[in-house]
């Protein structure tokens, strides 16, 4: 097959590309230029998609003996990922830009261009696996290395995208084995630190970064009954479940700390209450997709497991499509889930689908 290897400049994508070459595919390496900040340099583990990463990717491609290109997707990345990130925070939601990048850039814009140029698949260094069921339908599954599993952030892929995706690292038991292999292959990124944080916020301070895009508008901090407890200098700086930095000044009647329960952008109010109210029992979302074959009767509740954070715990649940939106009834509460997060639905190790959370329901009344 003709394979487009997405090379981020890290060790995982370099080894994935190497394995694709070793498997006999016709491989071309591509680095996605996503940042519009000239001169951006990577510092330690913070950020990715920088000039330094591009150079690391080129060195890896040269070592593998494959052609290498840098494709500029910065405009689309800004529109589909960065602008979406800002808009979601402005609306009082908590977005996941990595999900959006996979959905809109790596497995949409990149894949579309690759297919138009005659490529058969996009190869990445994600830790996940694709299998066929008995009927030949493709399924996305967790990787063998559970500590590195990235199936969650791939939950946005549909059946057609799965058919044109390759994840060569899915059957590898640990990251240490990947680094050892990279070293054996003579790849200079063998010991390069993993990237973390949001790639376009390399300093890691989301609140400060957002100040450049969203005007600071003061508002009230209120309890669940609407009583004003304090003031804030901008709702964008708060997250669901936050306890520190509220600056209320007066203790609750029970003497226990208060936590952010809700953010109301229209009224500029931040609602706080007891920790118990952060226990979420139900999730609702109208923006959902199926990863591969959809359930035969999605309107009927089915048993599943749900994960709402990239490396978070999974909890048992039942789910169904009700009145055009997905409803997830959690059998065990999840803590501090916010609108805008992504809930990924699992059947065992298989990723069945995902939804963007629009609304949550607390297991415990906020006044309790």
Q: Given the residues 48, 98, 199, 304, select the one marked as catalytic.
A: 199
Query: 313-346, pLDDT tens digit by residue?
Result: 999 999 999 999 999 999 999 999 999 999 999 9
Q: What percent of the chain has pLDDT over 70?
A: 95
Residue 304 appears among annotated catalytic residues: no
Share the mean pLDDT of the chain: 92
Helix (H, G, I), strand (E, B) or coil at 327: strand
199 annotated active-site? yes
Q: For 63-92, b where at least 16 C-beta lie within 10 A, e where not — what string?
A: bbebebeebebbebbbebbbebbbebbeeb
Quote the CA–CA distance of 294 and 14 in Å, as a whole number. Answer: 33
Give the span between the Cα atoms of 32 and 13, in whole angstroms: 12
pLDDT value, residue 366: 56
Per residue in 35-80, pLDDT tens?
Answer: 765 444 444 444 466 788 999 999 999 999 999 999 999 999 999 9
Could you check whether 2-184 and 215-273 share the same CATH topology? no
- Structural domain boundaries of the chain? 2-184, 215-273, 278-362
Residue 80 near residue 39 (C-beta atoms within 8 A): no
Burial (CB count <10 Å: 0-12, 13-18, 19+), residue 195 = buried
Report pLDDT digits (tens) over 185-229: 999 999 998 876 688 887 778 888 888 898 888 999 999 999 999
% the chain with pLDDT above 90: 79
Matching CATH number, 215-273, of 3.40.50.920, 3.40.1180.10, 3.90.120.10, 2.30.30.280: 2.30.30.280
Q: Which CATH superfamily is domain 2-184 in?
A: HUPs (3.40.50.620)
Question: Encoding tokens for residue 198?
Answer: 């949001």
Beta strand pairing call for 350-356 and 138-142: antiparallel
Question: Domain 278-362 sits in which CATH superfamily?
Answer: Translation factors (2.40.30.10)
Angle at the Cα of 245 from the Cα atoms of 242 and 247, rounded to 5 degrees:
120
The residue that leads in pLDDT, 195 or 160, is 160
Question: What tokens does 336 get?
Answer: 């501090």
User: Which position among 98, 101, 123, 304 bears the catalytic label?
Assistant: 101
3-state secondary structure 219-282: EEEECCCCCEEEEECCHHHCCCCCCCCCCCCCCCCCCCCCEEEEEECCCCEEEEECHHHHEEEE
pLDDT at 365: 66
Number of Cβ within a 10 Å radius of residue 173: 13
What is the model's pTM?
0.92
Residue 363: band (very low, low, confident or very high) from pLDDT cuts 50, 70, 90:
confident
């Amino acid at each position: 097959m003709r394979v487009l290897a997405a090379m981020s400049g890290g060790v995982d994508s370099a080894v994935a590309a190497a394995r694709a070459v070793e498997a006999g595919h016709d491989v071309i390496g591509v680095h996605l230029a996503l940042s519009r900040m000239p001169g951006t340099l990577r510092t330690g583990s913070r950020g990715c998609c920088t000039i330094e990463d591009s150079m690391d990717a080129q060195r890896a491609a040269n070592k593998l003996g494959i052609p290498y290109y840098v494709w500029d997707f910065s405009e689309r990345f800004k529109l589909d990922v960065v602008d979406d990130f800002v808009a979601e925070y402005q609306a009082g939601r908590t977005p996941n830009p990595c999900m959006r990048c996979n959905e809109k850039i790596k497995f949409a814009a990149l894949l579309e261009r690759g297919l138009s140029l005659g490529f058969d698949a996009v190869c990445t260094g994600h830790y996940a696996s694709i299998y066929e069921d008995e009927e030949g339908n493709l399924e996305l599954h967790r990787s063998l290395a559970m500590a590195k599993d990235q199936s969650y952030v791939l939950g946005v892929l549909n059946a057609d995208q799965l058919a044109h995706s390759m994840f060569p690292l899915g059957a590898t038991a640990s990251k240490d084995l990947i680094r050892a292999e990279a070293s054996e292959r003579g790849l200079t990124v063998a010991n390069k630190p993993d990237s973390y944080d949001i790639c376009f916020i390399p300093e890691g301070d989301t609140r400060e970064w957002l100040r450049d895009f969203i005007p600071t508008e003061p508002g009230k901090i209120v309890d669940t009954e609407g009583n004003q407890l304090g003031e804030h200098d901008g709702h964008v700086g708060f997250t669901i479940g936050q306890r520190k930095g509220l600056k209320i000044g007066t203790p609750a009647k029970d003497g226990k700390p208060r936590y952010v329960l809700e953010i109301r952008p229209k009224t500029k109010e931040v609602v706080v209450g007891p920790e118990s109210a952060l226990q979420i029992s139900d999730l609702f979302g109208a923006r959902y997709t199926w990863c591969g074959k959809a359930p035969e009767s999605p309107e009927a509740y089915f048993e599943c497991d749900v994960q709402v954070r990239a490396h978070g715990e999974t909890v048992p649940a039942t789910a169904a499509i009700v009145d055009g939106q997905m409803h997830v009834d959690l059998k065990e509460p999840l803590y501090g889930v916010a609108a805008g997060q992504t809930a990924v639905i699992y059947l065992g190790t298989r990723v069945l689908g995902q939804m963007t959370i629009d609304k949550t329901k607390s297991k415990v009344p906020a006044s309790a």
